[in-house]
């Protein structure tokens, strides 16, 4: 059994029980028995009751009770939550070490460009004031970060894109990079001017296409064991939807390593275990897929298997469509058989079978099935019965 939180311990000391508790307390789960109650550590505050509370960090920054309504942290065997009078917030000062917070939290740090430092809070009997709150410190911090961004824009003479920059909380400086894939995901300036390059972004849309060549050795124990096989899948799309041709051309120019890494990761196991060789060829930006039929014929003559990705997608869609149609036909036949054997009245109103019958068959066919049901019943009544020898004994 998990140890009860401080709030639950206090209620039990006051004479409350699992079955009878005050209106400002609630169960940790809407469907909660005693076992689950013990596992989750006891009662929780009602939202309205918690929102009335005010908490303070070790350095005196005030927090609203509503700031802790999105769950809690479990760390070092402790539940850091309002019911234990120790909920945590992200330190607005981003201090790595601080004597005003629990020593256990000095080890909770982030990685990468983010700095994560947690501060434990405790309930105080003072009214909330913005001037003495963590919200004011956060607002001031965000203002400073925005001012540094504007300073970066002045240094770069406006050649800055918000989506291509990130704020490093360790150096407290903005860092600029260029990833055309980020443009494909986030850029909204199609037909306008690029914030980074100050060049026109074409309205014409296209995609990035490439070919994948796979070389493998057969290991199937047949007469062809050890034979080299080469296949090329042509016309593979990099982007799920069409993007500006300007962005596609930049991906081809600057993102070749990313495309190669993306394809090699797809076949990582085959490359590692079976020694497959995966090559990415003919990376290009086009408005629509182009095909070189003469090259395809030349590759086929050389014994290379050629597959076009768009053709494969069409075949897969058609197979999927056929499978769905077959499954639907089977479901319809099962439902027909059920109505014929048991009758329309056997289907409960508004049940799934009831709605499917109305949707698939319509009223006319349902009447036909009901007549077949009556005929089926009559045949069952008139069916010869097998006599048993025990009936004559």
Compute the C-alpha angle 299/304/306, nearest 5°. Answer: 80
Cα–Cα distance for residue pair 290/100, rounded to 1 Å: 66
**Percent of the chain scored above 70 by pLDDT?**
96
Reported as a single tens digit per residue, the pLDDT across 270-324 is: 888 888 899 999 999 999 988 888 988 988 888 888 889 888 889 999 999 999 9
Residue whose tokens read 């069952």: 380
Backbone φ and ψ for 118, nearest 5 degrees, come out as -95, 140
CA atoms within 13 A on the CB side of 75: 18
Reported as a single tens digit per residue, the pLDDT across 187-209 is: 888 888 888 888 899 999 999 99
Reported as a single tens digit per residue, the pLDDT across 341-364 is: 998 888 888 899 999 999 999 889
Q: SS3 for the chain, per residue?
A: CCCCCHHHHHHHHCCCCCCCCCCCEECCCCCCCHHHHHHCCCCEECHHHHHCCEEECCCCCEEEHHHHCCCCEEECCEEECHHHCCCEEECCCCCCCCCCCCHHHHHCCCCCCCCCCEEECEEECCCCCHHHEHHHHHHHHHHHHHHHHHHHHHHCCCCCCHHHEEEECCCCEEEECCCHHHHHHHCCCCCCECCCCCCECCCCEEEEEEEEEEEEECCCCCCCCCCEEEEEEEEEECCCCCEEHHHHHHHHHHCHHHHHHHHHHHCHHHHHHCCCEEEEEEEEEECCCCCCHHHHHHHHHCCCEEEEHHHHHHHHHHHHHHHHHHHHHHHHHHHHHHHHHHCHHHCCCCCHHHHHHHHHCHHHHHHHHHHHHHHHHHHHHHCCCCCCHHHHC
Q: Evaluate if residue 108 carries a pLDDT over 80.
A: no
Please report the pLDDT score of residue 146 as a whole number: 95
* 49-53: average pLDDT: 93
Residues 6+ apart with CB under 8 A from 131: none
- Confidence grade of residue 147 (pLDDT, cut at 50, 70, 90): very high
Compute the C-alpha angle 379/383/387, nearest 5°. Answer: 165
Calculate the CA 48 to chain-centre distance.
32
Please report the pLDDT score of residue 77 as a whole number: 86
* 214-238: average pLDDT: 84
Q: Evaluate if residue 380 carries a pLDDT over 90.
A: no
- Confidence grade of residue 153 (pLDDT, cut at 50, 70, 90): very high
Out of 97-101, 108-112, 330-334, pick the least confident.
Answer: 108-112
Residues 6+ apart with CB under 8 A from 47: 69
Please report the pLDDT score of residue 389 as a whole number: 62
Q: Evaluate if residue 210 carries a pLDDT over 90.
A: yes
**Percent of the chain scored above 90 by pLDDT?**
49
Please report the pLDDT score of residue 81 as a whole number: 92
Question: 326 versus 303: which is more confidently predicted?
Answer: 326
Residue whose tokens read 């899948």: 233
Out of 110-114, 148-152, 349-353, 389-393, pick the least confident.
Answer: 389-393
Q: Mean pLDDT in the chain?
A: 89
Cα–Cα distance for residue pair 271/214, rounded to 1 Å: 10
Terminus-to-terminus CA distance in the chain, angstroms? 67
């Amino acid at each position: 059994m998990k140890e009860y939180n401080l709030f639950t311990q206090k209620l039990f000391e006051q004479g409350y029980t699992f079955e009878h508790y005050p209106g400002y307390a609630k169960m940790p789960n809407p469907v909660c028995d005693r076992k689950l109650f013990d596992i989750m550590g006891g009662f929780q505050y009602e939202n309205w009751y918690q929102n009335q509370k005010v908490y303070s960090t070790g350095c005196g920054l005030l927090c609203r009770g509503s700031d802790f309504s999105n769950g809690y942290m479990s760390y070092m065997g402790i539940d850091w939550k309002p019911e234990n009078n120790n909920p945590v917030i992200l330190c607005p000062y981003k201090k790595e070490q601080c004597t005003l917070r629990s020593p256990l939290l000095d080890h909770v740090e982030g990685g990468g460009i983010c700095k994560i430092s947690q501060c434990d809070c405790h309930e105080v009997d003072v009214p909330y004031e913005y001037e003495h709150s963590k919200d004011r410190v956060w607002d001031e911090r965000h203002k400073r970060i925005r001012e540094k961004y504007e300073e970066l824009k002045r240094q770069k003479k406006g050649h800055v894109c918000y989506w291509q920059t990130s704020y490093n909380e360790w150096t407290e400086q903005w860092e600029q990079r260029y990833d055309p894939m980020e443009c494909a995901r986030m850029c909204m300036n199609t037909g306008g001017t690029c914030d980074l390059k100050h060049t026109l972004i074409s309205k014409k849309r296209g995609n990035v296409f490439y070919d994948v060549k796979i070389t493998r050795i057969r290991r199937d124990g047949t007469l062809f064991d050890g034979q080299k096989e080469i296949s090329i899948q042509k016309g593979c799309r990099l982007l799920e939807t069409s993007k500006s041709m300007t962005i596609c051309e930049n991906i081809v120019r600057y993102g070749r390593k990313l495309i190669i890494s993306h394809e090699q990761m797809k076949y990582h196991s085959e490359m590692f275990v079976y020694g497959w060789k995966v090559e990415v060829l003919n990376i290009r930006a086009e408005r629509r897929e182009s095909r070189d039929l003469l090259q395809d014929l030349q590759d086929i003559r050389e014994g290379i298997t050629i597959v076009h990705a768009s053709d494969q997608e069409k075949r897969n869609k058609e197979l999927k469509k056929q499978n769905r149609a077959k499954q639907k036909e089977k479901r319809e036949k099962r439902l027909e058989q059920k109505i014929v054997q048991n009758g329309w009245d056997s289907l409960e109103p508004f049940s799934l079978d009831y709605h499917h019958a109305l949707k698939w068959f319509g009223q006319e066919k349902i009447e036909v099935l009901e007549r077949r049901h009556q005929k089926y019943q009559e045949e069952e009544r008139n069916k010869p019965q097998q006599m048993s020898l025990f009936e004559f004994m």
